[in-house]
Amino acid sequence: MDFDYRDMKLGKHGLPTWDAMVVVLMNLMADGKEYSGKQIKKMAADAIGLPEELRNTTYDSSNMDNMIENRAGWGLSESYTAGIFDRPKRGVYVITDLGKKLLKGNDTIDVTFIHNLPKYQEHKNELKERNKRSNIDVNDKDSESFEDISENISETVTGYNNQVATELLRRIQAADPRFFENLVVKLLVAMGYRGPNGTARVTQSTNDGGIDGVINQDALGTNTIYIQAKRYNSDNVVQRPMIDTFFGSLSRIHADRGVFITTSSFSKNAIETAKGFSIVLIDGIQLTELMLQYHVGIQVKDSFELFEIDEDFFEN
């Protein structure tokens, strides 16, 4: 049976939902053979005619799982809970008699149907008891899978952190330029550029020769990074002449590594010029993203653990 993702129920990012992937999994396993979880997830993801860009879509940088294989995995897991598939041994799946029967029938196999199967209802009753013992009241939403919950949590946290980053940038733009120079040196040190035996310093505010900070990556200073930091308002875009000037400063000291950091942004010509000079550019948005990533100028408000089954544990 041929599948075209465009004819399937689509969710976020233009990809089939986990329940849409269940029928694909059932058809691929209709021969009654055993398949490893990794194998069948990849087969299902490859079987629906996704263009390369969608096939290779992953979550955000903190979670590089392949999105469509992940959805196939949720379909496999939820259908296993419902009795459509069985696990005869660790990490291996096979279609059940119920699965074969459903495949031959005319039922619409979607999230509501799967969650109303007897075995899944048993699972829901156990889950209700666990939630009761934990003193939590969870709305029973058949349309919201664990994958949906995970994505929603990720999007909520990212949205909140983006607000923090926006406020962080405003604080930096309102601070003293000297504060900003110290900040960018601290950030690059936090990112590991100083090395275990290197040094980092902000240059003197007078006669700095266009260099605001210097990081020696080793004790002898054989690998050195030179920094220029410009604390500008968002509407003050860094233009090409400033990149030319910074390159001139680097050339005078025979330097081959430069990082230009601003709280605003760079013009197209500035970006192209920096590429030719091997100068790394960091604008205000990237600056604050890096500050959050490396915990510079911020602190963790809360920390939560969201668990999932370790499939490798059950497959080895």
208 lies in some domain: yes
Inside any domain, residue 303 = no
> Which of 144, 164, 184 corresponds to the end of one domain?
144
Q: Is residue 310 part of a domain?
A: no
pLDDT band of residue 226 (cuts 50, 70, 90) is very high
- pLDDT of amino acid 256: 83
pLDDT at 147: 63
- Average the pLDDT over 23-33 and give the result: 96
The per-residue pLDDT for 143 is: 44
- For residue 151, is it within any domain? no
- DSSP labels for the chain? ----GGGS-B-GGG-B-HHHHHHHHHHHTTT---EEHHHHHHHHHHTT---HHHHT-B--TT---BHHHHHHHHHHHHHHHHTSEEEEETTEEEE-HHHHHHHHS----SHHHHHTSHHHHHHHHHHHHHHHHTT------TT--HHHHHHHHHHHHHHHHHHHHHHHHHHHHHS-HHHHHHHHHHHHHHTT-S-TT-EEEEPPSSS-TT--EEEESSTT-SSEEEEEEE---TT-PBPHHHHHHHHHHHHHTT---EEEEESS-B-HHHHHHHHHHTEEEE-HHHHHHHHHHTTSS-------------HHHHH-
pLDDT tens digits, 182-207: 999 999 999 999 988 889 999 987 66
**Do 18 and 139 have their domain in common?**
yes
Tell me what the mean pLDDT of segment 5-33 comes to. Answer: 94
Q: Measured between alpha carbons, how far is 257 from 253 in angstroms, rounded to an integer?
A: 11
Instruction: Tell me whether residue 189 is in a domain.
Output: yes
pLDDT-derived band at 217, boundaries 50, 70, 90: confident
> Is residue 135 domain-shared with residue 86, that is, in the same domain?
yes
Q: Which residues pair with 228 in a beta bridge?
A: 260
Inside any domain, residue 162: no
Q: Looking at per-residue confidence, does 57 or 154 come out higher?
A: 57
Supply the range of the domain harboring residue 198.
172-293
What pLDDT, in 10s, does the model give residues 242-271? 999 999 999 999 998 899 999 999 999 999
Task: Please report, for the domain that includes residue 198, its CATH number.
Answer: 3.40.1350.10
Q: Residue 115 pLDDT more than 50?
A: yes
> Residue 124: its pLDDT value, please?
85
If one compares 143 and 168, the residue with the highest pLDDT of the two is 168
Residue given tokens 């590089």 in the structure block = 64
- pLDDT, position 110: 94
**139 and 189 part of one domain:** no
Same domain, 181 and 288: yes
Judged against a pLDDT cut of 60, whether residue 288 lies above it is answered with: yes
Task: Please count the structural domains in the chain.
Answer: 2
Q: Give the number of C-alpha atoms closer than 13 A to the C-alpha of residue 194, restricted to the C-beta side.
A: 16
Predicted confidence (pLDDT) per residue in 116-157, tens digit: 999 999 988 887 887 788 777 766 555 455 666 767 777 788
Residue 75 domain flag: yes
45 and 139, same domain (yes or no): yes
pLDDT at 84 over 70: yes
Q: What is the pTM of this model?
A: 0.62
Query: Does residue 293 register a pLDDT over 90?
Result: yes
Give the percent of the chain with pLDDT over 70.
91
In the predicted structure, residue 55 carries a pLDDT above the cut 90 = yes
Is the pLDDT at 89 greater than 90, yes or no?
no
Q: Is the pLDDT of residue 94 over 70?
A: yes
Judge whether 14 lies within some domain: yes
